[in-house]
């Protein structure tokens, strides 16, 4: 399949035109025409590009690509070195951000729900493309039990901020990556807990004062699974040679 056909295939699956994003979604850096081997990963870092070069990949598919809204436009320094390596090695770079967070089957939120045993029930925002979602466990569990589930699923111990009343957890909201401020919508909805990748200083007080458990499970850690699932879909349904590469990131 050629690189533009692959972009069309991914766009048809993820529908990036349906959500406003902070970066371009799709083919961000054009490389060789024919694509057979694809490396998937969370972020288009130097280390991931070097691994793609080592494995003779035709394309890289990531959740965090380039050309973010508000970032400096000159292609120099770290960004310049990354893009230079892609161009010199004729490697295509595809990036899908929010479309890969919200996809109901392959998205980061959907994959995290499956890993933790959460039943998805709806979006926290009043829009069909809500970035944060909510659901429930079949039966209430303790905060300790949820901590253990997260640690087992993500191989990372989450930071837990407990409310003043350490209540059991059945209803829960979540948003992978940097979605900590959605705790406000979760609290307004009366949910027992909220999970995101990151935490801010203010999040601690939001959790304590609004009687909602908060779990910071890691930006990278919570966003491995969408792009991994997308790569597996490309391999299974369309015959690509796909390898997921998890570059170590403690965040």
pLDDT tens, position by position, 149-170 = 999 999 999 999 999 888 999 9
Identify whether residues 37 and 123 lie together within a single domain: no
Is 213 annotated for ligand binding? no
The count of structural domains within the chain is 2
Q: Label residue 215 by pLDDT band (50, 70, 90).
A: very high
Position 82 scores a pLDDT of: 99
To the question of whether residue 12 is assigned a binding role by annotation, the answer is: no
Check: pTM over 0.95? Answer yes or no: yes
Binding site annotation covers 248?
A: no
* Residue in the structure block whose two tokens are 């009043």: 126
Residue 8 in contact with residue 19, Cβ under 8 Å? no
Q: What is the mean pLDDT of the chain?
A: 98
Residues 117 and 201 in one domain: yes
What is the average per-residue pLDDT within 234-246? 99
Within a domain: residue 231? no
> For residue 36, what are the contacts with CB-CB under 8 A and spacing of at least 6?
1, 58, 240, 241
Same domain, 84 and 146: no
Q: Of 72, 96, 120, which closes a domain?
A: 96
* Residue 219, marked binder: yes
Contact (Cβ atoms closer than 8 angstroms) between residue 98 and residue 92: no
109 and 89 in a single domain? The answer is no
Q: Is 63 annotated as a binding residue?
A: yes
Q: What is the mean pLDDT of residues 197-215?
A: 98
């Amino acid at each position: 399949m050629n690189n533009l056909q692959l972009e069309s295939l991914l766009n048809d699956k993820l529908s990036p035109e349906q959500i406003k994003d902070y970066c371009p979604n799709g083919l961000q850096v054009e490389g060789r025409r024919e694509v057979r081997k694809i490396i998937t990963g969370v972020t288009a870092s130097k280390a991931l590009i070097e691994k793609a070069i080592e494995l003779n990949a035709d394309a890289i598919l990531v959740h965090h690509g380039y050309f973010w809204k508000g970032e400096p436009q000159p292609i120099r320094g770290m960004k310049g070195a990354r893009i230079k390596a892609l161009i010199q090695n004729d490697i295509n770079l595809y990036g899908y951000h929010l479309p890969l967070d919200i996809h109901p089957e392959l998205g980061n939120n959907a994959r995290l729900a499956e890993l933790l045993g959460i039943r998805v029930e709806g979006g926290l925002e009043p829009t069909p493309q809500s970035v944060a979602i909510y659901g429930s466990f079949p039966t209430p569990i303790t905060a300790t039990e949820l901590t253990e589930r997260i640690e087992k699923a993500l191989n990372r111990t989450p930071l837990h901020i407990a409310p003043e009343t350490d209540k059991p957890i059945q209803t829960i909201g979540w948003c992978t990556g940097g979605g900590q401020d959605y705790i406000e919508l979760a609290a307004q909805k009366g949910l027992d807990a909220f999970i995101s990748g990151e935490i801010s200083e203010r999040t601690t007080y939001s959790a304590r004062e609004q009687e909602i458990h908060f779990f910071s499970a890691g930006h990278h850690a919570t966003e491995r699974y969408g792009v991994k699932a997308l790569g597996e879909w490309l391999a299974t349904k369309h015959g690509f040679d796909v390898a997921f590469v998890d570059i170590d990131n403690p965040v």
